[in-house]
Chain A
Amino acid sequence: METKIKSLFASYYNRLEDIIVKEINKREFAFWEFGSETLVRHLSFENPLSLKKELVKKVPLHVYYSAAVYEFPSMKQMEAKHLKYVDLIFDIDVDHINTECKKIHDMWICKNCKKISTGFAERCDECRSLTIDRKSFVCNQCINFAKEEVFKLIDNFLFTDFGISKDEILIVFSGNRGYHVHVFNEEMRKIDSKARNMLVDYIKGSSFKLYFYDYLKKNDYKFKGISSFGFSNRLSEKIYEEINRLDEEKLNKLGLSEGKIKLFLNKKQKYLHSLTKYKSDYSFLKILEPISKKLLEEWISYITVNIDERVTVDMHRLIRLPNSLHGKTGLRVYPMDYNDLEKFEPYNDAIAITKGTAKVSFKIKREYPKIIMKNEEYDLNSIEGKEIPIYLALYLYLNGYVIINELFL
């Protein structure tokens, strides 16, 4: 079966015309070949044509290139490569986001106490162990949620805060669970790992979540409000919106005592007015105790983006090559401009191999979600034995869900 799939990948690479890599001759490339256990690193190519030739010859399962631009990209020692600068890359992966639909299609097994459960989990809810085995699935809802996060990252952080322009970014659908955002701004490309860490901390709101209460206590519960710029502006706007919605019924539901509800509602307008200012009064958080911490965390999560920090901070990171195929889905690693993101449909636009059908059977019997591909909805629980499009079969096979019984090319 692998040979047949490899030939499908080969015909894709034969047809491939758009290889979009800035400064291609200064990047490191890496191939993960079919049937291989290791990644072949330190490859370099003079131009898109020589890369294409190698893709057609080797037909790799996965193709990566370096976010870094090196003087000598093919040297084996990192120091010998002589790093010049590094594109700033953000990775949004639905794996890290707790979407509602995960309750339906994700499951996990605790390696420690063997508990099996469904949904998203950081650790086992029984024995608190962190060593859990996740069996996740990416449905249309998941991937759309990832797109929302990309918009939040680009509109609020990259454009508004960092002053990056539209032509300095490239958005890439990773081909599986999310998106990569490449930033080519000259100044940003020069910043080091420590500086990138600060950006990650800001976008994820990590320090803020930990220290905001400390800050408020030290500053008499005063913090910047809607009239300010950046993080504080968005946070206070969100809090304004949420506080405005809080009424007796909601506060009751949240478990706040009657006395506190009364006190809060009496002062609500005053708090709302204060939030519109530059220096705002956040003492409502004191009244909302003990639920304030949970509420604040929730409000912060609306304005922050759960990016994978390892991708941004690692200066030698390898990232998927735009327009290559993702070896775990068969989908195209799809690059696009900001203006195309809104209309982009991963399970439609990123389908690269279309000719053929297949019959499959599932390796593990469990509840699978519905999936929409090429505008057609498939109930995965009833596809066994039926002839399904090649792209759906490849998606399920490469992801390890099914075995392909018959292939009709």
Chain B
Amino acid sequence: MISNSYLLADYPFLRNLSKYLEEIHFDFEEIIKTKNQIYWKAIERIKKYAENEKIEYEEDPYEEISIFLVSLYFASQLGSIFIRKFADIESKRCSKKLNNEKFETIIYIARDFLSEKITIERIKKDFEEIQLISLPLTEYLKYASHFSGYKWSLAFKEIDKGKIFLDVKEIIRLIEEKYRQWLIIKCEELSTIVYPEVIEDLKDIKLEKQGFIKEVKYEGEDPPCMRILLQDLKEGKKLSHMERFALVTYLRVRGWNVEDIVNLFRTLPDFKEDITRYQIEHIFGLRGGRKVYSVPSCLTMKVANLCFPESPYCDNIKHPLQFKQKGKRKWRQK
């Protein structure tokens, strides 16, 4: 059908990429060895990711795919924070493109990348025919569990016999998330292959502002929900609004100041200092309505899909701040 090189240039995750690379005799080693035009264009592109500059994509599919693949390798050599930023920019670009595609093209891509089991069901409801896209529930869970907002929770959706019914916008959002995760995994796989001559060319590339983590000592341990959020942040993972909110309220209580938290957030792929600072100050009660926001309760964390109770230390607590030091609670027999 629509499977041509133009489609691959926009969606390089499609399954026939490897076949295409074979056809064009794509030789990665050769590009690295000769440091040809593709190599330097990829270096230029990587600099643009780092400096938050607009990326110019090539019109020629051969060139675009080649530059993309070399950039993917370069990104893999620059550490997890860079990788996540790269994955974030590229996956957003993908969904933007998808939004302008025809319905058939979107479904073709979704079947190729998300799940072969996607079906289109036309059902008569209230005397009119409606069109629903069905996806295996487990595939939905893999990606939608990373989203915030109640509209993604299952009770607001229709589910039947292991299938979930979605609209096309939701399918696009799931493809975006899978692509983001796919890019991170690919980079992690590639990160172990090192060419010293490439490292030399990449050594000047640094993120505009590198994040640094300030360790603040306090009594006790972090509850698992907050520990996971902190860990995600340290690894440069993208956090949702709710995740950021919960973490800031928690760190405030733990004695962090605005400056420390702003610096902590520098690792985020979509970090913007002015917005971050404003929002943190807002939570601290220094802006807007001057209300100091408290740490969300366990119930709120659960509903936001951010609660990961670890037996037995989370038993019988209703608030993350009630989390006690390990070892002080007995193992609960069920």
Contacts from A to B (Cβ < 8 Å): 32, 38-39, 62, 91, 93, 130, 160-164, 174, 176, 187-188, 190-195, 197-202, 205-208, 210-211, 214-215, 224, 227-232, 277-279, 308-311, 313-314, 316-320, 327-328
Contacts and interface: CB of A to CB of B under 8 A. Distances in A.
B149 to A, nearest CB: 9
A232 B165 CA distance: 13
A199 B154 contact: yes
A398 to B, nearest CB: 11
Contacts of B155: 201-202, 205, 207-208, 230-232
Contacts of A62: 333
A208 B305 contact: no
B181 to A, nearest CB: 12
A193 to B, nearest CB: 6
B145 A208 contact: no
B158 A198 contact: no
A313 B308 contact: yes
Given A194-B305, A197-B145, A201-B303, 12 more contacts: A163-B163, A191-B141, A195-B142, A201-B153, A214-B150, A215-B151, A215-B156, A229-B160, A278-B125, A309-B302, A314-B309, A314-B310
6 contacts: A161-B159, A192-B142, A194-B146, A198-B305, A230-B154, A320-B334
Contacts of A210: 150, 303
A160 B309 contact: no
Nearest to B155: A208
B81 to A, nearest CB: 22
Contacts of A174: 334
A215 B159 CA distance: 18
B309 A163 contact: no
A136 to B, nearest CB: 14
Contacts of B162: 161-164
In order of increasing CB-CB distance, the 10 nearest A-B pairs are A163-B162, A278-B125, A195-B141, A202-B154, A194-B145, A208-B155, A163-B161, A230-B159, A229-B160, A207-B153
A91 B303 CA distance: 19
Given A160-B161, A161-B160, A230-B159, A313 B150 contact: no
Contacts of B154: 198-199, 201-202, 230-231
Contacts of B125: 227-228, 277-279
B302 A206 contact: yes
Contacts of A164: 162
Nearest to A131: B316
Given A230-B157, A231-B159, A279 B126 contact: yes
Nearest to A122: B318
A198 B141 contact: yes
Contacts of A38: 331
Contacts, number: 138
Contacts of B137: 161-163
Contacts of B333: 32, 62, 327-328
Contacts of A207: 150, 153, 155-156, 303
Nearest to A200: B302
B69 interface: no
Most buried by B among A160, A162, A277: A162
Nearest to A194: B145
Nearest to A189: B138
A277 B303 contact: no
Interface string B270-306: 0000000000000000000000000000010011010
Nearest to A274: B126
Nearest to B330: A37
A201 B305 contact: yes
Most buried by A among B125, B138, B299, B311: B138
Given A198-B144, A229-B160, A193 B308 contact: yes
Nearest to B305: A197
B136 interface: yes
Given A174-B334, A207-B155, A309-B302, A130 B318 contact: yes
Given A93-B334, A230-B160, A197 B307 contact: yes
A229 B159 contact: yes
Contacts of B334: 91, 93, 174, 176, 308, 311, 319-320
Contacts of B305: 194, 197-198, 201
A327 B305 CA distance: 34
B44 interface: no
A10 B161 CA distance: 45
A211 B141 contact: no
Given A207-B303, A278-B125, A327-B333, A190 B138 contact: yes
Contact of A314 (B136, B160, B311, B331): B311
Contacts of A229: 158-160, 165
B126 A278 contact: yes
Most buried by B among A309, A314, A319: A314
Contacts of A176: 334
B315 interface: yes
Contact of A208 (B153, B165, B299, B310): B153
Contacts of B314: 310
Contacts of A162: 137, 159, 162
Contacts of B303: 201, 206-207, 210
A194 B153 CA distance: 12
B141 A199 contact: yes
Nearest to B304: A207
Contacts of A278: 125-126, 130
Most buried by A among B125, B142, B146, B333: B333
Contacts of A211: 150, 153, 156
A207 B157 CA distance: 12
A161 B164 CA distance: 9
Contacts of B307: 197, 309, 313
Contacts of A310: 309, 311, 314-315
Most buried by A among B126, B157, B159, B334: B334
A230 B126 contact: no
Contacts of B141: 191, 195, 198-199
